[in-house]
């Protein structure tokens, strides 16, 4: 079983729509969670960290469900510029050097 699994999509949504997707992780001892954004042929960049109580950053909302071992990302009022691949990233213990990456969920926002 992969350490981090994501629905690859693609999620094709019209501008202004809300899109949401999940990521599951296998290590119940995981401590830190992140969403990265990767544009086509570019490097991944941090979108947001995911906190236990859930958190928002503008139109983006991230949630963590430890009991079911998944995190989610919701994008409200989608913009064309939100088209990208979103990578779920999980870190084990706080002193763990390793980050585990999902293969990514592709979102395409159409006009």
For other proteins, the binding residues (CB under 8 A) are 4, 8, 32, 34, 41-46, 49, 87, 89, 91, 94, 97-99, 101-104
Least distance CB 46 / other proteins (angstroms): 5
The nearer residue to other proteins, 50 or 78, going by C-beta atoms, is: 50
Q: Give CA 39 to chain center in angstroms.
A: 14
- Which CB, 61 or 105, lies closer to other proteins? 105
Nearer to other proteins, 78 or 87 (CB): 87
> Whole-angstrom Cα distance, residue 71 to residue 35?
9
Q: Give the integer Cα–Cα distance in Å for 4 and 102.
A: 5
Instruction: Tabulate helix, strand, coil % of the chain (nearest 5).
Output: 5, 55, 45
Choice between 42 and 79, CB closer to other proteins? 42
Minimum CB separation of residue 24 from other proteins in Å reads 14
For residue 80, what are the CA distances in angstroms to 65, 83, 85? 29, 6, 13
């Amino acid at each position: 079983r992969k350490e981090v699994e994501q629905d690859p999509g693609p999620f094709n949504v019209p501008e202004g729509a809300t899109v949401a997707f999940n990521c599951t992780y296998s290590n119940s001892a995981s401590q830190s969670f992140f969403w990265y954004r990767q544009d086509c042929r570019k490097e991944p960049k941090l979108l947001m960290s995911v906190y236990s109580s859930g958190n928002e950053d503008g139109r983006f909302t991230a949630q963590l469900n430890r009991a079911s071992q998944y995190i989610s990302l919701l994008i409200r009022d989608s913009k064309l510029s939100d088209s990208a691949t979103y990578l779920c990233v999980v870190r084990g213990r706080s002193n763990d050097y390793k980050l585990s990456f999902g293969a990514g969920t592709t979102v395409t926002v159409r006009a």
